Structure 1
């Protein structure tokens, strides 16, 4: 796999490596129960936020199991508004994408724009064949976003996860490189 050329610029966003200046903003939204609702584990403590930002700042992406987590920043408005993640899955050309946004950044299309840029990175520069997203069936906003990105619902796993005191149904959305290419060309 080639090195990832950063930052990535979109019409309204900059996707870049995390740095120490992102800690306070990261903690501000990851410490909220509403953010943690669809993420594994509870809302993050400041210490857990420090650990996460440190890992995200120092990612290596050269083998299966590695992941890249990019900070999302609005162009012309410095500061972290969320993150988008791409994980290299086992198997030939497989990856998984995910995203989290601060409450004030939600509903503006930032997650869709950032995820689209990472899908382009994954299918282009990194050469993946298939990229999937796994989410809680109650996460309606993320399911709608997957559909806006041209991802198709491939699976519904009833009561797949037990977390936060209840069973959750997992949805698996995915898109293939040829589908992505046809979408961006058309």
Structure 2
């Protein structure tokens, strides 16, 4: 366990997460705006085992962390965390299972992981980037302290994709005096 709230746990992904992981990663509504590739069971098991062992918060590397219910430890989603090569910024990706959406879990989870990231690193900011049509992600981010900074277009699989960028700066975090 990396950190907890009254209802959620942030921890490493593990082999026992396989069924829940595959259920939401294969859900077309959840996967619609995500950049990851579809995985079969063996690929997903290999990924979970790798993520359980990979060092946390390594410069220039992505790490996936599990979001689970505190009372039952059931996987509700995961976070992709990429620490920039210079260690000054983290890009944060969020995936929630369909049944975890719309229950305020995302808001609580974002507060938990951002507090944990600022407490464990020297980053200046956390960046979240989402497809401009991802209404669920936009709704979640609008309820957090993340601020919309700009919009861009990226080419993904040969298609111009509108993206909306958000950031949360360390100075906001420090002014709030959030503790972990």
For normalisation by structure 1, the TM-score amounts to 0.85
**Structure 1: segments with no counterpart, 5+ residues:** 1-5
Counterpart check, 1:100 vs 2:110: no
Tell me which moved more, 107-116 or 133-142. 107-116
**Structure 2 residues not aligned, in runs of 5+:** none
Pick from 149, 160, 168: which aligns with 1:175? 168
1:14 CA displacement: 1.0
CA displacement 1:100-125 (0-9 Å, x = unmatched): 11111111121221221111112112
Matched, 1:110 2:105: yes
Q: 1:41/1:119 Cα in 2 relative to 1: closer, same or farther (>3 Å)?
A: closer
1:23: which partner in 2? Answer: 18
Answer yes or no: is the 8 Å Cα contact 1:132–1:174 preserved in 2: yes
Q: Which runs of 4+ in 1 moved over 4 A?
A: none
Q: Aligned to 1:78, what secondary structure does the other structure show? A: coil
Aligned to 1:141: 136
- Distance in 2 (alpha carbons) for counterparts of 1:18 and 1:114: 15
> Aligned partners of 2:118, 2:128: CA distance in 1, in Å?
15
Deviates more, 1:59-68 or 1:25-34: 59-68
Query: Does residue 130 in structure 1 map to residue 125 in structure 2?
Result: yes
What is the Cα deviation at residue 10 of structure 1?
0.8
| TM-score, length of structure 2 as denominator length | 0.88
Cα RMSD over matched residues?
Answer: 2.0
Paired with 2:32 and 2:102, the residues of 1 have a C-alpha distance of 17
